[in-house]
Amino acid sequence: MSANFTIFNARLYDPSTDAQQVTDIHIAGGKIAAIGSTPAGFSAERQIDAEGKQLIPGIIDLNCRLREPGLEQKGTIISETTAAARGGVTTVICPPDTDPVIDTPAVAELIRRRAKQSAQARVLSIGALTRGLAGEQLTEMAALKSSGCIAVSNARQPVRNNLILKRAMEYAATWEIPIFVNPLDHALENNGCAHDGRVANRLGLPGIPCSAETVAVAAMLELAQESGAHIHFQQISTGRAVEMLHEAQVKGVHVTADVAAHQLHLTEMDIEGFDSNCHLLPPLRTLADRDALRQGVAGGVINAICSGHEPHEADAKLAPFPATEPGISALETLLPLTLRLVDEKLIDLPRAISLLTSGPAEIVNLNSGRISIGADADLCLIDLDREWRFTADAMLSAGHNTPFDGWEFSGYVTQTFFEGRMTWMES
C-alpha cells in the first residue's frame, strides 16, 4: 500500500487540459486526492519539496521490448522497468514477439503477473495479429483485448498477403482494436543492415531502401481507408512516410504514428566506423529524412515519441556490423532526447510533454497521461535546469547498447512515482 504524501511548490503541467500552475498535489491510496488546497481529513506521511521542478504525468512508452519471457539474457521485466522508472517512464507497452508469442490470453496473463511482481512500472502488452506471428491465421483478437492487450500487431514479421491484412483490419475495426504496424516490405529489405545510400555504399554494407518502408505504408493506408480500422505506424523513419501520413490524415483516415527518439537526432553518418550501436531497424536515414521526421513531430503528423527500447547483452554487438543484432537500449534516453528538441527550439515544452504522455495515451485509449483528481498517481519530477552527462556504464537497463554514451543533456529526472509509490529517486 502506498503512503499518503504531498508534493508542494511544483510547476505542474497537465497536457490533457494544457493547465500550467505552481501548486501542491496530494496523493492518497495511490491516487491523486487533490490539487492545490489540502483536502479535509488528509494527513501526509511525507512531504516532498519540488520548488523549481517540473511535475508531469508519468511517461508512456509505446514501443519497449523487455526481453522477458524468452530472452532473459538480454533483460528482464524487473531490470527494464527499473530503467524505465529512472527515465520517468511509468507505463511500457511491449510488442508480441516474446517467447512464447503473445497470441493467447494465457501468455498475456503470464506477462501481466510477472510485471505485477516487479511493480516498477505498468506493463501493457500488444497481442499478436496472427498465430505465432506466422502471418497466416488470425488470432482471437477479441479475447486478447478482453485479457488486457491494448492493440494487436505482427511485430516485424510479414503477413502472408494483403487479403489476410484486410480481414485482420475488418476484425480489429469491429472490436475497436488498434493495429500497430512496423512498416517494412521484407522483400525490399532483403537482409539489409543500413540505409541504402552513400554511407552504406562506401562502407560496403547491404542497404535497406526507403521504399521498404513507404511501399508498406502505402498498402496499409489503402486498406485502412477501406476498413475503417485504426492503424498506428511504429518507428517511422523516412520523410516520404511523413508526407503520406499527412495526406491520409487530411482525408480522414484513422491513422497515427510514432517515431523513436534516436531517429530525431542521428543519421546514416553515425554508422561511420561501423559503430554497431547504430545498427538499428529501421535504419538511421539521411539528414533530410531526419529533418522531415522532426517537422512531422512539430507539425502534429507524428503523435508520439517512443524509445524503441531493445536491450542486448554485450556479445550481441561485438560481431562485424552486418552480423550484429539491431537495436538500442533506450528507456533512459527517451526523455532527455525529447527535451533536447526543446533546447533546439524545434518544439516547446508542453508539446514535448504531450508527445510522451497524453499523445501515447490517446493512441491506445488509456485513462492516463494526465494529472487530475482521482487519476493514478503516475508522476515524474524533472529538474529542467540540471545539466548532466549520460554514460553507458551508469545505465540501469541490462543492456548498455547505446550510441549516446558521453552525451551532455539538460533536464534530469529526480523522482518517479508509479501508482503513488516512489520507484526512482536520485541518489
236 contacts 244 by C-beta, under 8 angstroms: no
Q: For 315-365, write each residue's pLDDT tens digit.
A: 999 999 999 999 999 999 999 999 999 999 999 999 999 999 999 999 999
Asked if 24 and 98 sit in the same domain, the reply is no
Q: Which helix (H) or strand (E) holds 274?
A: none
Residue 167: per-residue pLDDT: 97
- Report how far residue 228's alpha carbon sits from residue 230's, in angstroms, rounded to the nearest whole number: 7
Q: Which residue shows C-alpha cell 547498447?
A: 401
Residue 1 has pLDDT above 60, yes or no: no
Q: Give a yes or no: residue 318 inside a domain.
A: yes
Q: For 194-212, write each residue's pLDDT tens digit.
A: 999 999 999 999 999 999 9
Q: Give a yes or no: residue 45 inside a domain.
A: yes
Asked if 149 and 224 sit in the same domain, the reply is yes
Asked if 18 and 125 sit in the same domain, the reply is no
Domain interval for residue 196: 59-363
DSSP letter (8 states) at residue 183: -
- What is the grid cell recorded at 25? 498535489
Q: What percent of the chain has pLDDT over 70?
A: 100
Residue 105 phi, psi (nearest 5): -60, -30
- Give 19's pLDDT tier (boundaries 50, 70, 90): confident
Q: What is the mean pLDDT of residues 301-307?
A: 98
Report DSSP letters for 109-147, one per residue: HHHHHHHHHH-SSEEEEPEESBGGG-SSSBP-HHHHHHT
Q: Which residue shows C-alpha cell 535504419?
A: 283
Q: For 155-185, write each residue's pLDDT tens digit.
A: 999 999 999 999 999 999 999 999 999 999 9
DSSP letter (8 states) at residue 345: T
Of 363, 384, 411, at which residue does a domain stop?
363
Asked if 127 and 182 sit in the same domain, the reply is yes
Residue 16: per-residue pLDDT: 84
- CB burial class (10 A; 0-12, 13-18, 19+) of residue 31? middle
Residue 221: per-residue pLDDT: 97
Q: Give a yes or no: residue 368 inside a domain.
A: no
Asked if 272 and 399 sit in the same domain, the reply is no
Residue 118: per-residue pLDDT: 78
Question: b or e along 95-104 (b: 16 or more beta carbons within 10 Å of the residue's beta carbon)?
Answer: bbbbeebbbb
Rg (CA), the chain: 21
310 contacts 326 by C-beta, under 8 angstroms: yes
- Report how far residue 151's alpha carbon sits from residue 305's, in angstroms, rounded to the nearest whole number: 17
The torsion defined by the Cα of 124, 130, 132 and 137, in degrees rounded to 10, comes to 150
pTM, to two decimals: 0.97
Asked if 137 and 233 sit in the same domain, the reply is yes
Asked if 322 and 231 sit in the same domain, the reply is yes
Q: Give a yes or no: residue 371 inside a domain.
A: no
333 contacts 392 by C-beta, under 8 angstroms: no
CATH of residue 386's domain is 2.30.40.10
Q: What is the mean pLDDT of residues 101-115?
A: 95
Q: Give a yes or no: residue 96 inside a domain.
A: yes
Q: How many domains does the chain have?
A: 2
Asked if 386 and 320 sit in the same domain, the reply is no
Q: Give a yes or no: residue 370 inside a domain.
A: no
- What is the grid cell recorded at 360? 501515447
Question: b or e along 148-174 (b: 16 or more beta carbons within 10 Å of the residue's beta carbon)?
Answer: ebbbbbbbbbbbeeeebbbebbebbbe
Sheet order of strands, 89-94 included: 59-61, 89-94, 122-125
The torsion defined by the Cα of 310, 409, 305 and 402, in degrees rounded to 10, comes to -20
Residue 249: per-residue pLDDT: 98
- What is the grid cell recorded at 142? 477479441
Asked if 20 and 76 sit in the same domain, the reply is no
Asked if 87 and 225 sit in the same domain, the reply is yes
Q: Which helix (H) or strand (E) holds 163?
A: helix 162-174
Asked if 32 and 154 sit in the same domain, the reply is no
DSSP letter (8 states) at residue 167: H
Q: Give a yes or no: residue 369 inside a domain.
A: no
Mean pLDDT over the full length of the chain? 96
Residue 119 has pLDDT above 80, yes or no: no
- Report how far residue 231's alpha carbon sits from residue 224's, in angstroms, rounded to the nearest whole number: 7
Return the SS3 of 55.
strand
Q: Which residue has the higher pLDDT, 327 or 19?
A: 327
Question: Angle of helix 77-86 relative to helix 105-118, nearest 10 degrees?
Answer: 60
What are the DSSP E strand ranges found in 235-393?
255-260, 304-306, 379-389
Q: For 211-261, write each residue's pLDDT tens digit.
A: 999 999 999 999 999 999 999 999 999 999 999 999 999 999 999 999 999
Of 342, 363, 384, at which residue does a domain stop?
363
Q: What is the mean pLDDT of residues 277-296?
A: 98
92 contacts 78 by C-beta, under 8 angstroms: no
Residue 427 has pLDDT above 80, yes or no: no
CATH of residue 241's domain is 3.20.20.140
Asked if 13 and 93 sit in the same domain, the reply is no
Q: Which helix (H) or strand (E) holds 179?
A: strand 179-181
